[in-house]
Amino acid sequence: MIRLQGASCLRARKITWVGDQYYQHHCVWDPVKFQQEKDYKQEGIIRKMPLPTPNVDMERPDDQFRDHVYDYALRNGTVTMGWLWKYLKPLGLVPHPKELHNRLHYYYHSRMWGFKRAPLVYTRRNPNTWTDRTWILKINEHITKTDHQEFVELLKARLEENPLIDPTVDATVMWYYRTEDDCGFPHGKINGPVQTSTLLQLHSNNHITDQTRLFSFRTEQLCWMPFYKYQQLRSRAGEFEPQEDEMKEESPGYMLEKRHRVQEYVLQMHESEKGLPNYLQHLGYEPNIEDMELEFTEEEEMEA
């Protein structure tokens, strides 16, 4: 004899008894799980926000980008965009992989002469499986050996004048941090670079908090991580004393600022000749600012 479980047990498991099987509803509302999935997605978006690009040569940004891409393709052969992004990410040349895809597509695929003269070809992984949307970058097979050798020699000549960026040359750890921008987005503005001592001093002065997103090209996590996730920073959080002159002034909040603006407007109307007092006297009332229950400082009360 099969013993059926009670209705309370079924509700606890969010399942329904259907014949001799347990059917679990896929659309059962679980607010805790929904919030966890939402936070997980939001965390991934914040960590993958655009990176700083301090090493871009403003005099030759396109040539610098193509030199790095061409050199990597010559050394490694056919590569996908993922491996190419992993190579370019610590160099500080491209802010995010979407920008990398757009620039590669513009240089090596959207030109009419791309398959004839370009040294590299940007195409899909396998033409037989059109559903595969992964792009690859490979050496052009349609150009002659003479043209390819010409491209290689030109690349070597450019690299002698403008060497490639080496991320291991400078051992100084420089940090970037994100703060609130003009639109109120909490991680919308990139500040830096600053050294570790300056960053710790900013933390002591409350200019950054434990939730402030940080990034450094000298760390293993090449993404925007909060302050408390870095062990080298968390262990030195109280090393510097706060500076009273440099402390960040906390905003009183929207409601307090709104109340202060209303009070200033009422006081301005009270002091005007054709404003609030004139209107109240027209209605037969004697205006008294004390009846308005406004909060002012001692100087403002003396003026009122």
CA–CA distance, 197 with 236 (Å, rounded to integer): 10
Per-residue pLDDT tens digits for 164-210: 998 888 778 999 999 988 877 889 999 989 999 999 999 999 999 99
- For residue 95, the model assigns a pLDDT of 96
Per-residue pLDDT tens digits for 1-54: 444 455 555 455 555 555 555 655 666 778 898 899 999 999 999 999 999 999
* Among 212, 70, 219, CA closest to 151: 70
The pairing of strands 225-226 and 213-215 is antiparallel
100 confidence band (pLDDT: 50, 70, 90): very high
235 confidence band (pLDDT: 50, 70, 90): very high
Structure tokens at 170: 């400078």
> What 8-state DSSP symbol labels residue 255?
H
Per-residue pLDDT tens digits for 256-295: 778 878 778 777 776 776 665 666 666 676 666 666 666 6
CA–CA distance, 137 with 77 (Å, rounded to integer): 8
The DSSP line for 165-199 is P-TTS----EEEEEE--TT--TT-EEEEEEEHHHH
Count of alpha carbons within 13 angstroms of residue 262, beta-carbon side: 10
Structure tokens at 5: 């479980």
- For residue 26, the model assigns a pLDDT of 66
∠ CA 50-111-119, nearest 5°, is 85
- For residue 256, the model assigns a pLDDT of 79
Token pair 């991680």 is found at 187
CA–CA distance, 78 with 73 (Å, rounded to integer): 6
- Coil vs helix vs strand at 158: helix
- Which residues, in sequence order, are bridge partners of residue 136? 80, 123
Structure tokens at 174: 């420089």
List, in order, residues 6 or more apart from 240 with CB less than 8 Å away. Answer: 197, 200, 201, 203, 204
Per-residue pLDDT tens digits for 115-161: 567 888 888 777 676 556 678 888 888 888 998 999 999 999 999 99
∠ CA 16-20-25, nearest 5°, is 25
* Among 210, 206, 209, CA closest to 250: 206
- Which residues, in sequence order, are bridge partners of residue 176? 215
Q: Per mean pLDDT, which range of 65-69, 209-213, 269-273 is the poorest?
A: 269-273
Query: ω into residue 193 within 30 of 0, thus cis?
Result: yes
- For residue 10, the model assigns a pLDDT of 45
- For residue 1, the model assigns a pLDDT of 44
Tell me how crowded residue 144 is: count the other CB atoms within 10 A of its CB.
8
